[in-house]
């Protein structure tokens, strides 16, 4: 039996690592919800309280400085343990695992209004065990320490003068290439065809063979030319991902060279570094958050942190204007429910934090547009790479096809019917079909 079970009777109730959920001051705590799958012989209450103590005031044995006063102020509290299914009288004789939902409330003054110590606290050492953090409930008092997106959905609509339809984002393909002139021409073709946002691929940032000072002027000239022809504005979100100091140097250089958008692989550089870029007042352009590395943090069903946090809430809180996330329509084998959870975390009310524009991505072709908009609505950025660049008639026609598919959906016309009268869309549909997949559970 763990030591905290023994000493509980010697401490005031207020200093114990447990409480009724009704009794805590919600504005003083971040409440985390966990899933645990454990052998039946283990005492879940001892384990949960042990995790609460381990991640707040204590360690494996009581130390002199861990007084009742210290614990009353700083100890985390188990506020709920729910078994599913909930056995009442006996356990099945062949039971190998018991499944639990656990809620622990952490005093946020322990870690402050920042992400690194939040994560260190709520999933740090306990990430070594079979436990997954499913969600975090953030109080208004904690969120006030964050600025959130500078632009978000409303700001992007105002900036690009796009009233009510979804935006189209094109990532340049091939992912890595050495000719800035080739990349700029692809950028021009996609932009003039109707892409609202052109982004660097997440695999290309500032290598010696394709440096920012070479790429950005060529791309911005291509965008200016395309904008003059189509009568619309286009963003170019430049990948500035690097070590922290170099990332800020890249950001400053990109703005000086005329870039009107930035992009960061946020999980690779860390949430804190991403937040610092977002909150820098000299970088007053939209910021796109790319999801690289998040699968390693969240895709296991038993350990890690849920995608609704890793990809949804946390980048939004740190200032993402546009967040790329995997879509179940194309090449990502993702459950529809997880996809919708991530999107909701980006757009549902979150106290003072503005909405992030969801950007579903991953093998999306014009045939997917109908389903994407039906699922998420029009306040989204549709991300596509090869769906534009691999069009039989080239990237300009590929972008036109996406805009045609969007026009059809916004007018309530089936995309397949609209394609019969629009050649670019028809050729895209002939190449890739309706885009239906089996990943729709």
Residue whose C-alpha is closest to residue 215's, from 276, 257, 174: 257
Residue 65 phi/psi, 5-degree rounding, is -75, -10
184 close to 221: Cβ distance less than 8 angstroms: yes
Q: What is the DSSP string of 115-144?
A: HHHHHHHHTTGGGGSSEEEEEEE--HHHHT
Residue whose C-alpha is closest to residue 104's, from 129, 79, 128: 79
Residue 173 catalytic? yes
Burial state string for 65-85 with b = 16 or more CB within 10 A and e = fewer than 16: ebeeeebebbbbbbbbbeeee
Looking only at the bridges linking them, the beta strands covering 29-38 and 98-107 are: antiparallel
**Long-range pairs of 113-120 with CB within 8 A, sequence gap ≥ 24:** 113/142, 113/144, 113/145, 113/146, 114/145, 114/272, 115/271, 115/272, 115/275, 115/314, 115/317, 115/318, 116/270, 116/271, 116/272, 118/30, 119/271, 119/305
The HSE-up count of residue 112 (CA atoms within 13 Å, CB side) is 4
Catalytic residue among 290, 368, 396, 427: 290
What tokens does 280 get?
A: 């820098």
Catalytic residue among 132, 173, 199, 422: 173
What tokens does 91 get?
A: 């356990």
Residue 137 catalytic? no
Strand positions, DSSP E, 50-195: 77-83, 98-107, 131-137, 167-171
Residues belonging to the active site: 173, 290
């Amino acid at each position: 039996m763990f030591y905290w079970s023994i000493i509980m009777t010697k401490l005031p109730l207020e200093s114990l690592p447990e409480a009724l959920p009704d009794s805590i001051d919600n504005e003083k705590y971040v409440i985390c919800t966990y899933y645990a799958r454990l052998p039946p012989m283990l005492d879940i209450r001892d384990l949960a309280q042990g995790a609460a103590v381990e991640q707040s005031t204590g360690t494996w044995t009581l130390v002199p400085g861990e007084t009742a006063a210290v614990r009353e102020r700083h100890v985390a509290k188990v506020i709920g343990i729910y078994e599913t299914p909930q056995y009442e009288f006996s356990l099945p004789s062949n039971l190998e695992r018991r499944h639990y939902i656990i809620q622990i409330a952490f005093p946020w003054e322990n870690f402050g209004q920042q992400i690194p110590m939040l994560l260190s606290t709520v999933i740090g050492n306990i990430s070594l065990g079979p436990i997954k953090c499913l969600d975090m409930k953030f109080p208004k008092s904690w969120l006030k320490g964050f600025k959130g997106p500078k632009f978000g959905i409303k700001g992007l609509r105002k900036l690009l003068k796009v009233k009510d339809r979804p935006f189209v984002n094109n990532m340049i393909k091939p992912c890595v290439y050495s000719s800035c002139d080739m990349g700029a021409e692809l950028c021009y073709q996609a932009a003039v065809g109707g892409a609202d946002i052109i982004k660097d691929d997440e695999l290309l940032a500032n290598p010696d063979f394709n440096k920012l000072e070479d790429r950005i002027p060529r791309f911005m000239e291509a965008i200016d030319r395309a904008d003059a022809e189509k009568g619309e504005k286009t963003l170019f979100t430049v990948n500035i991902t690097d070590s922290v100091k170099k990332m800020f140097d890249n950001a400053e250089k990109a703005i000086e060279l005329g870039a009107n958008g930035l992009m960061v692989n946020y999980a690779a550089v860390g949430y804190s570094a991403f937040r610092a870029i977002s909150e820098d007042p000299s970088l007053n352009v939209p910021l796109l958050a790319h999801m690289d590395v998040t699968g390693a943090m969240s895709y296991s069903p038993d350990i890690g942190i849920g995608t609704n946090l890793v990809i949804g809430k946390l980048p939004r809180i740190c200032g993402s204007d546009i967040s790329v996330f995997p879509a179940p329509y194309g090449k990502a084998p993702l459950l529809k429910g997880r996809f919708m959870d991530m999107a909701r975390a980006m757009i549902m009310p979150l106290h003072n934090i503005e909405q992030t524009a969801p950007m579903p991505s991953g093998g999306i072709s014009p045939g997917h547009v109908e389903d994407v908009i039906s699922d998420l609505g029009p306040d989204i950025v549709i991300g596509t790479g090869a769906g534009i660049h691999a069009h039989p008639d080239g990237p300009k026609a590929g972008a036109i096809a996406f805009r045609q598919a969007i026009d059809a959906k916004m007018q309530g016309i089936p995309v397949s019917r609209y394609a019969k009268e629009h050649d670019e869309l028809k050729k895209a549909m002939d190449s890739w079909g309706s885009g239906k997949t089996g990943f729709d559970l």
